[in-house]
Amino acid sequence: MKFGFDIDDTLIDLRGYAFQLYQQKLGREVGRELFDQLNRVEIHELFDLSDEEGSKMWNSSLEELYYADCPVYPGAVEILQQLDREGHEIFYITARGAAHGEGTKNWLKSQGFPVKDGHFYCGMKDQEKFEIIQNLELDYYFDDKPAVIDTLSGDSLNVIIRDQSYNRHVEGLRLTDWSEFYHLVKSKTS
């Protein structure tokens, strides 16, 4: 089978890591419960930053966010390694800027993710992401972003939503913990 995975907030807790980093950089403590209730991807409003200020903060923190100690969701590496051992094809499809392609690929490998040449796509907008996913003829695709999930809904592709506070309004099969992976995939094939 062919499996496709978004990276940020699907395989790794980038948003949660950014939340911690912002607290350190801004010298402000914000309750985790407020973070867990956010209904949008962007976190800057928790720190009273405007959209413009939040965008600047995010862009100035990319190196730290992408290549430092961002935690991998428990079980994600092991599941993908198992899929690789079983002979399944694994594709990574991320909207991270193209300038971060090689660095992201190398970081994923250093974390233990099985990344093969030709199976990593980076630096596209949502519409291009959708086209890549269609062209790859994936059996399953995992993502957290509502706009991507909505675009893929209704397609023959099995879309599984990586549960996040900002995507709970989207209908579909949800992965809340990577330990649920095989159960969810089996439920789609039964």
The residues assigned a catalytic role are: 6, 8
**Cα–Cα nearest to 25, from 57, 70, 71:** 57
The number of residues making up the chain comes to 190
